[in-house]
Amino acid sequence: MPPPSKRLKTSKPGKVGKVAEITFDPAARTEYLTGFHKRKLQRKENAREQAVKREKEERVEERRQIREQRKEDLAQHVAQVNAELRKQEEFSDAEGDDANVDWGGVATSAPAVQDAEEEFVDEDKFTTVTVEPMGEPGVEEVDKDAPKKDYRNSNKDVKKRPPKKKTIKFRYETKAERQATRQKQKSKNHAAKARRMGE
């Protein structure tokens, strides 16, 4: 018999010896073997709870950012309004020197009507637009006195439209009517065939 192999003889210096005793717990074994589904459901539930918690935190953070943004916007708007008010106060102070003159109000005479003319240039087209007043004061009074035309009878020379064609109302035949029509057609065809054969 050959000598035993060297691997079995020598043991590594840092290796721990054999375990003295192994205890077997059947309850722990059954819990481990039957608890896969339960543990999986528990993991899913924990993940769902974590996701809900994370979403709540995100919503809270988002609302906080929106509040801060609104505060900043409001502060900027207030600053702009205050700056505008200061400008207006300076302007009104400059005009305050003319305040000694009494204001007479708006003139009662109608403003002079002027024709406005504008020119527009587009690629190939040159367009001039002239704006004129629609009517003059006092013209309406003249028109009231003018005789009114009767427009009801004035369009006699207008071409009359051709009369509308009467639409034919289509109706499906019942089963009995279709059978009767088919029977008549067969009898006519049979009679025509007999005539042709007889000739």
Residue carrying structure tokens 């717990």 = 25
* Residue 98 forms part of a structural domain: no
30 domain-assigned = yes
Angle in degrees, 0-180, between the axes of helices 26-34 and 36-95, rounded to the nearest 10: 50
CA 188 to chain centre: 66
Whether residue 97 lies inside any domain: the answer is: no
Q: Which residue has the tokens 């988002």?
A: 62
Quick one: pLDDT at residue 59?
96
Across 33-69, b (16+ Cβ under 10 Å) vs e yields: eeeeeeeeeeeeeeeeeeeeeeeeeeeeeeeeeeeee
- Residue 62 CA to residue 69 CA, distance in Å, equals 10
Q: Is residue 48 part of a domain?
A: yes
Task: Indicate whether 8 belongs to any domain.
Answer: no
Give backbone dihedrals phi and psi of 131, rounded to 5 degrees, phi first.
Answer: -105, 120
In this structure, what token pair is assigned to residue 99? 């305040």
pLDDT string in tens for the chain (199-residue length): 677 676 655 556 566 667 778 888 999 889 888 889 999 999 999 999 999 999 999 999 999 999 999 999 999 999 999 999 999 888 887 776 555 556 666 666 655 656 788 887 787 788 888 888 776 655 555 555 566 666 666 656 667 788 888 888 888 999 999 999 999 999 999 999 999 988 7
Q: What is the pLDDT of residue 125?
A: 82
Supply the pLDDT for residue 153.
60
Note the pLDDT of residue 92.
82
Residue 137 lies in a domain: no
d(CA 84, CA 44): 59
Q: How many domains does the chain have?
A: 1
Q: Is residue 109 in some structural domain?
A: no
Range of the domain at 51: 26-89
Q: Is residue 196 part of a domain?
A: no
Q: What is the pLDDT of residue 158?
A: 66
With residues binned 3-state (H G I as helix, E B as strand, rest as coil), the percentages for the chain, rounded to 5, are: 55, 5, 40
Task: Say if residues 137 and 110 touch (Cβ distance below 8 Å).
Answer: yes
Output the pLDDT for position 176: 96
- pLDDT value for 144: 59
